Amino acid sequence: MRIHTSAGTLPAREPLGESGAPVLDVVVPVFNEERDLEACVLRLREHLARTFPYTYRITVADNASTDRTPEIADRLGRVVPEVTSVRLEQKGRGWALRAVWERSDAPVLAYMDVDLSTDLKALLPLVAPLISGHSDLAIGSRLAGGSRVVRGPKRELVSRTYNLILRSSLAARFSDAQCGFKAIRADVAERLLPMVEDTGWFFDTEMLVLAERAGLRIHEVPVDWVDDPDSTVRVVRTAVDDLKGVWRVGRALAVGALPLDRLARPFGDDPRDRAIGGVPGGLARQLVGFCAVGALSTLAYLALYSVFRAGVGPQTANALALLVSAVANTAANRRFTFRVRGRERAVRHQAQGLVVFAIGLALTSGSLAALDAAVGASPSHGTELAVLVAANLAATVLRFLLFRAWVFPDRRSDLPARDPRKAVR
């Protein structure tokens, strides 16, 4: 699979059909699993042969094992037609998944832990929404309603605490980040994987958080799951690494360092939606976001004006306060109102925002000048603030229109509309 790094949004999802390549590639990452590998792979293959209605492949990804695991994996790849093996000299589950997924030719990519703790009956429900074109990623969840889990109190506490941290710090809405039972469409993986830095256990979480922030659809499947008492996962070390990952991803999202706009889907994810004219996309949401940012910016502006006014005249204080608040306002609207992420065009957007600032400055400065001319004497501080609020309201309406039409236009609307009749197959 070729990694896609060019700009532009994702195309609409299409249902997947049979082609020369297997529809599903299930990756089983392993490290020193000579005792369980063969039995688990054969059990997985038997289940797929009996229940899965599409072609499939099972890929054993050996993570630099030092026992007989590579030998067993190689033999399975030679004896069982649906099985292949890949030897990797670097450890890390994320590293193994990335290495296999990047070169897989299957349109749906999945993975599961070799211990098969998750009941395999959930595999078809996991990948079906990806094959049909309904969802972008799918995860098995041990914490969703309807799941049945057997595990000790220590693992239960760690899992629930970790997911609580994700919800509180990264605003994650998915219920279970750590279950080793996930799938992704290959067209999404092409663009998403280059943004995921982790190569270990945090790989799953980082992938899900970025996908969710980009607005991709994540399908959750309640699973039956039985804890493996012989698991080699080091809980404390993994928890520390995960917390470091949460901090790194949270910081990257806060500063807009990731080009998540490349993962956007068309409105409604149906090509026919783009053929509907005269309907501005996301107007209500943008108005709410703009008003919220504007309210905070106005409070900051008035506070700054009061601070600057103590040392300089009203025109200078107004210009300084408006400049500082305008830069912050443009950055906030860029990220939260119009959902533009990444550093691409960031300088250009700020330059255009300064033009909008100049227009607002002209309106507010003109209002102050008109006030001085009308009153004749120095107006009170309260009167100045009242006039500036009224002028800012007028400037706000104009600022929103300029932001929407000029600074942050919806570039997806520039795509040629497809004939709705051609979208039906």
Please return the burial class of 208, using the count of CB atoms within 10 Å of its CB with bins 0-12, 13-18 and 19+.
Answer: buried
User: SS3 sequence, the chain?
Assistant: CCCCCCCCCCCCCCCCCCCCCCCEEEEEEECCCCCCHHHHHHHHHHHHHHHCCCCEEEEEEEECCCCCHHHHHHHHHHHCCCEEEEEECCCCHHHHHHHHHHHCCCCEEEEECCCCCECHHHHHHHHHHHHHCCCCEEEEECCCCCCEEECCHHHHHHHHHHHHHHHHHCCCCCCCCCCCEEEEEHHHHHHHHHHCCCCCCCHHHHHHHHHHHCCCCEEEEECEEECCCCCCCCHHHHHHHHHHHHHHHHHHHHCCCCCHHHHCCCHHHCHHHHHCCCCCCCHHHHHHHHHHHHHHHHHHHHHHHHHHHCCCCHHHHHHHHHHHHHHHHHHHHHHHHCCCCCCCCHHHHHHHHHHHHHHHHHHHHHHHHHHHHHHCCCCCHHHHHHHHHHHHHHHHHHHHHHHHHHHCCCHHHHCCCCCHHHHCC
Catalytic residue (one of 62, 113, 204, 261): 204
Active site residue 204: yes
The answer for residues whose C-beta is within 8 angstroms of residue 186's C-beta and 6 or more apart is 1, 101, 104, 106, 107, 108, 109
What distance lies between CA 350 and its chain's CA centroid? 24
Residues whose CB is less than 8 angstroms from the CB of residue 41 and which lie 6 or more positions away in sequence, other chains included: 28, 58, 60, 76, 80, 83, 114
Pairwise CA distance, residues 292 & 312, whole Å: 30
Residue with tokens 């039972």: 181
Catalytic residues: 204
